[in-house]
Amino acid sequence: MNLETLLLRQAHSNFVVDGQLTSQAFCPFPKDDGELSVYDGDQITAERSFEHYTDTQGLDSAGVWAVSKGEVDSAGVSAHPSPLDNFPEHASINFNECAENKWRKIAKLLKRKALNRGCQFALEE
Amino acid sequence: MKSAFIQPRFIGARFNEHTLPLDVASDLRAYEELIVELAKRLYLKDNPSRQRVPKGFDADFHLHLEQIEPGSSRPLLSIVAAGTLLLPGANGDYFQQSKELVNECIAAEQGRLPEAFPRDLLKYFNRFGRSLRSDEKVEFSLSSGTATLTPERRKHLVLAGDKEYEREIEINGFVEEADWQKSSFRLRHLDGSKSTIPMSQAFHDQIRKIGGNQRHLVSVSGIGAFDEWDRLRKVLTSDSIEIQTNYELSRRFEELKDLKDGWFDGAGCAPNPDLLDEIAEKMVSDYPKRLVLPAIVATPEGNLLLEWDNDMDPSVDLILEERSASFHAFDPDGSDIERVFPLTNKQEWDSFFNSLDTFAGEEDSA
- Check B264 against A14: CB less than 8 A apart: yes
Residue-level pLDDT at B178: 93
- Check B264 against A29: CB less than 8 A apart: yes
Residue A16 CA to residue A24 CA, distance in Å, equals 9
Choose among A20, A59, A112: nearest Cβ to B265.
Answer: A59
Q: Place A68 in a pLDDT band, splitting at 50, 70 and 90.
A: very high
- Check B267 against A29: CB less than 8 A apart: yes
- Check B317 against A24: CB less than 8 A apart: no
Neighbours of B230 (CB within 10 A): 9
Q: Mean pLDDT, 10 residues at a time, over chain B (366 residues)?
A: 87 87 90 95 93 86 85 80 62 88 92 91 95 93 88 95 94 93 93 93 89 87 95 95 89 93 90 94 89 93 94 94 94 90 94 86 61
Q: Place A31 in a pLDDT band, splitting at 50, 70 and 90.
A: low
Residue-level pLDDT at B66: 87
Residue-level pLDDT at B76: 85
Choose among B296, B298, B315: nearest Cβ to A23.
Answer: B315
Pick A31 or B281 by higher pLDDT: B281
Average pLDDT across chain A, whole number: 92
Rounded (10°) angle between helices B92-107 and B23-46: 110
Q: Could you tell me the sign of the dihedral formed by the alpha carbons of A6, A12, A18, A22, in that order?
A: negative
Residue B24 CA to residue B36 CA, distance in Å, equals 19
Choose among B297, B309, B317: nearest Cβ to A104.
Answer: B317
Query: Is residue B61 within 8 Å of B99, Cβ to Cβ?
Result: no
Residue-level pLDDT at A51: 95
Pick A100 or B197 by higher pLDDT: B197
Give yes or no for B305 touching A (CB within 8 A). yes
Residue-level pLDDT at B90: 66
DSSP tag of B265: T
How close A95 comes to chain B (CA, Å)? 16
- Check A20 against B309: CB less than 8 A apart: yes
Residue A30 CA to residue A22 CA, distance in Å, equals 18
Residue-level pLDDT at B366: 40
Closest-approach residue (CA) in chain B for A31: B267
At A7 the three-state DSSP class reads strand
Rounded (10°) angle between helices B273-286 and B346-360: 60
- Among B260, B264, B306, B337, the strongest candidate for a mutation testing the A interface, having the largest count of A CBs within 10 A, is B264
Give yes or no for B326 touching A (CB within 8 A). yes
Closest-approach residue (CA) in chain A for B256: A14
- Check B295 against A22: CB less than 8 A apart: yes
CB-CB neighbors (< 8 A) of B302 in chain A = none
Query: Is residue B148 within 8 Å of B9, Cβ to Cβ?
Result: no
Residue B166 CA to residue B340 CA, distance in Å, equals 57
* Residue pairs between chains A and B whose CB atoms are closer than 8 Å: 49
Residue B96 CA to residue B98 CA, distance in Å, equals 5
Residue-level pLDDT at B82: 63
Closest-approach residue (CA) in chain B for A111: B313
Give yes or no for B263 touching A (CB within 8 A). yes
Choose among A24, A60, A111: nearest Cβ to B299.
Answer: A24
Residue-level pLDDT at B195: 95
- Residue B197's beta-bridge partner residues? B185
Largest CA distance in chain A: 39
User: Amino acid identity, residue B147?
Assistant: A
